[in-house]
Amino acid sequence: MALTTNKAVLDWIDEMSKMTTPDKIVWIDGSKKQIADLEKEACLTGEIIELNQEKLPGCYYHRTAVNDVARVEHRTFICAPSKEEAGPTNNWMDPKEAYKMASEIFKGSMKGRTMYVIPYSMGPVGSPFAKIGFELTDSIYVVLNMNIMTRVGQAVCDTLGNSTDFVRGLHSKCDIDEEKRYILQFPQDNTIWSCNSGYGGNVLLGKKCFALRIASYQGWKESWMAEHMLILGIENPKGEVKYVTAAFPSACGKTNLAMMIPPEGYTSKGYKVWTLGDDIAWLRVGPDGRLWAVNPEAGFFGVAPGTNMKSNPNALLSTEKGTIFTNVVLKPDGTVWWEGLDKNPPTDALDWKGNPWDPASGQKGAHPNSRFTAPAKNCPCIAKNWEDPAGVPISAIIFGGRRAKTAPLVYQSRDWDHGVFVGSIMASETTAAASGAVGVVRRDPMAMLPFCGYNMGDYWQHWIDMGKEIKNAPKIFNVNWFRLNENGKFMWPGYGENFRVLEWIIKRCEDQVDANVTPIGFVPKAEDINLEGLDYTIEGDRKFDIDALREILTVEKEYWMEDVKSIEEFYAKFGDKLPNELKSSLETLKKNFN
């Protein structure tokens, strides 16, 4: 039975079902009973496999098609009225053409299947930050994942009432045909169409498609921001908590930072880190003139390989119940494994493709992009206030990337506009670590390259404009955990030791510590980063000490001048859309070095 009488919702569902012709339509209320019934049904068809319920209560296993294991950026389109509105960093398709082309693909795609209608809220239901979406899908796997990643059910429909302000998401697995796989965003229509995929990032429409691509556009129009950022709280021994957000390109350890455990020397004094989100932050200016953040999601869709009790115990512990594992190794006892979980790869297990797997074969058992979908509430360090409808006030915004030589361990921008520049020049290098060579630089502004729903030049201007509205703006920093020595070895230990850098950041926010003025901004004085109790040997080299710290705090003209060239090339793509503030920050950077 429909959960709403909202005519706009019902008319749209009617239209979509006439196109996709499902055998029946089922509304998802997210009740325990309904979810359990769907789990049972999906187990019968083999869509999911029940895991060992003693060891992993409420956990299930899923394999995607072999050709369908990751987001498909080259088949993701921003269907804005003009190419210019999508900008030079997005694929663009004319909306009329996109609807026409995709309608052909969707035509009859749900014949013989059920269409599930998922009403969901991004953000705590009823929060001033929250936005509502509906996803129509023919996949129970999608329903079960959305039920973890978002808030689903009747309360969402009640909150929407008769409003037409909801995101219309349509997903069909169709035939999982790579050649007909499209992820289409229509920001002006609040609409998302996704076909021929069953992989999370392409089909959990609340996540990247809505909470970043569509929401970034909504934020532009409505004076708020949707960002690819984790949110964490840092509690000092007095019990005071400061909140920061951080944006990193994929594979830079965002989930690890979001759930980090400070070094022993800090925890014993009473310092704590609290997780509020690991991937997306929605930010609004509060009545106090500060920037406030909410995590629109309710779960973690994390990369499994490399997650272990050392790298990220909190993530691993989050997956002990109510979790869906996708494309990992399935052990004979109904538990799971992946590369980097421990040093005991199972024998007699099935790999992510479902074939018997021999760990000695040299083949990976889990797909490198295999995932866990875990409820955020499972996380041992989830902040008590992570669902506060008002969000949390942000003291600092941290950008970062993977740079072998260019960026120091940490630096602070001179002011908001300069901070926007720092975010706009974010980049990661492909690791050519072994030779110590500087890899290929991929520019990924604010880590939003694949997720910005409109012209990136307009997006930067929006950041600049927001700065004028935030009276007490967060300070903006850049970190680089990945500096290499001449032998191509990581100089900084990373993980929990990153807390030492967070401590400096918070001190800067509170004017407690001085810094060196450099051409790129404020860089710490080495003695202001606490190294007490740090016991780390740079691989095959020496113990990390204050001299090593000095080395990774250097700002070298040679590398920055290289970078300036690459920034100029990148900026040139944006023509008139490049904000003057960024142009002048780049000029200042050059001037400062000369």
Q: Which residues bind ligand OXD (CB under 6 A)?
A: 201, 250, 279
The tokens for 426 are: 């974010």
By beta-carbon proximity to Mn ion, the closer residue of 279 and 497 is 279
Q: By rule CB under 5 A, what count of residues binds Mn ion?
A: 1
Partner interacting with residue 401 (select from Mn ion, ligand OXD, none; CB below 5-8 Å by kind): none
By beta-carbon proximity to ligand OXD, the closer residue of 28 and 148 is 148
CB of 278 to Mn ion, least distance (A): 8
Contact 249, 401 (CB under 8 A): yes
Task: Point out which residues pair with 219 in neighbouring strands.
Answer: none
Stretch 202-241: interaction string toward Mn ion, x if CB under 5 A = ----------------------------------------
Contact 394, 292 (CB under 8 A): yes
Task: Find the helix or strand (DSSP H, E) in which 329 lies.
Answer: strand 329-330
Read off the DSSP letter of residue 345.
Answer: P
CB of 207 to Mn ion, least distance (A): 8
DSSP readout, 242-294? EEEEEE--TTS-HHHHHT----HHHHTTT-EEEEEESS-EEEEE-TTSBEEEE
CB of 229 to ligand OXD, least distance (A): 11
CB of 488 to ligand OXD, least distance (A): 26
CB of 70 to ligand OXD, least distance (A): 8
Residue number of the CB atom closest to ligand OXD: 250
Residues 6+ apart with CB under 8 A from 369: 69, 70, 303, 327
Cα–Cα distance measured from residue 481 to residue 10, given in angstroms and rounded to the nearest whole number? 50
By beta-carbon proximity to Mn ion, the closer residue of 296 and 346 is 296
Contact 457, 577 (CB under 8 A): yes
Cα–Cα distance measured from residue 307 to residue 255, given in angstroms and rounded to the nearest whole number? 10
Partner interacting with residue 201 (select from ligand OXD, Mn ion, none; CB below 5-8 Å by kind): ligand OXD
Single-letter code of the amino acid located at 274: W
How far is residue 278 CA from its own chain's centroid? 6
381 is catalytic: no
By beta-carbon proximity to ligand OXD, the closer residue of 13 and 328 is 328
Closest-CA residue to 488 (of 426, 438, 534): 438
Partner interacting with residue 592 (select from Mn ion, ligand OXD, none; CB below 5-8 Å by kind): none
Helix (H, G, I), strand (E, B) or coil at 171: strand
Read off the DSSP letter of residue 74.
Answer: G
CB of 250 to ligand OXD, least distance (A): 4
By beta-carbon proximity to Mn ion, the closer residue of 279 and 429 is 279
Closest-CA residue to 213 (of 76, 399, 81): 76
Partner interacting with residue 278 (select from ligand OXD, Mn ion, none; CB below 5-8 Å by kind): none
The tokens for 13 are: 């569902």
Please, which of residues 254-293 interact with Mn ion by CB under 5 A? Answer: 279
By beta-carbon proximity to ligand OXD, the closer residue of 368 and 393 is 368
CB of 230 to ligand OXD, least distance (A): 10
Q: CA-CA distances (angstroms) from residue 45 to 30, 33, 139, 155?
A: 21, 19, 12, 30
By beta-carbon proximity to ligand OXD, the closer residue of 250 and 566 is 250
Q: CA-CA distances (angstroms) from residue 231 to 157, 252, 395, 571?
A: 28, 15, 11, 29
CB of 249 to Mn ion, least distance (A): 9
By beta-carbon proximity to Mn ion, the closer residue of 257 and 523 is 257
By beta-carbon proximity to ligand OXD, the closer residue of 250 and 385 is 250
Task: Point out which residues pair with 518 in neighbouring strands.
Answer: 521
Contact 313, 352 (CB under 8 A): no
How far is residue 448 CA from its own chain's centroid? 9
State the catalytic residue, choosing from 252, 381, 452, 509.
252
Cα–Cα distance measured from residue 103 to residue 97, given in angstroms and rounded to the nearest whole number? 10
CB of 280 to Mn ion, least distance (A): 7
Cα–Cα distance measured from residue 348 to residue 330, given in angstroms and rounded to the nearest whole number? 9
Cα–Cα distance measured from residue 187 to residue 397, given in angstroms and rounded to the nearest whole number? 26
CB of 212 to ligand OXD, least distance (A): 9
By beta-carbon proximity to ligand OXD, the closer residue of 250 and 308 is 250
71-93: burial string, b at 16+ Cβ within 10 Å, e else: bbeebbbbbbeeebbbbbbbbbb
DSSP readout, 459-512? HHHHHHHHHHH-TBPPEEEEE-TT-B-TTS-B-S--GGGGHHHHHHHHHHHTT-
Cα–Cα distance measured from residue 548 to residue 22, given in angstroms and rounded to the nearest whole number? 63
Q: In the complex, which residues of this chain contact Mn ion (CB under 5 A)?
A: 279
- Residues with active-site annotation: 252
